[in-house]
Amino acid sequence: MEYIILILAGILFATAIYNLLQKQLLRIIIGTVLLSHGAHLVILTMGKLKRGQPPILDDAVTDYTDPLPQALILTSIVISFGITSLLLVLAYRTAQENKTDNIEEMRGEPNE
């Protein structure tokens, strides 16, 4: 199972990178979203999958899933949400001001 998830993470990364290298802002944002999904899966897999019960203490349970990756991912999900929403608004405003959503057309002047 772990290797299947790692391959899935690899595919998510590949599609994310491909989208990141596009010109349109919306695709780039989608790229960052996919990138964080992939990263979360990798972190989760590092703690091994499907071992023991959910990490909520209970006297009847002795074997728990690794709680540490989960804590890390939880932080990461929230941060990537912040980034996604900021990027979306930034894209909206940029497209409005510059009348384009193509980053190749947003270059500065030479020597700027």
32 binds other proteins (CB under 8 A): no
| Axis crossing angle, helix 67-98 with helix 25-46, rounded to the nearest 10 | 170
CB of 54 to other proteins, least distance (A): 4
57 binds other proteins (CB under 8 A): yes
3 binds other proteins (CB under 8 A): yes
98 binds other proteins (CB under 8 A): no
Other beta carbons within 10 Å of 103: 15
95 binds other proteins (CB under 8 A): yes
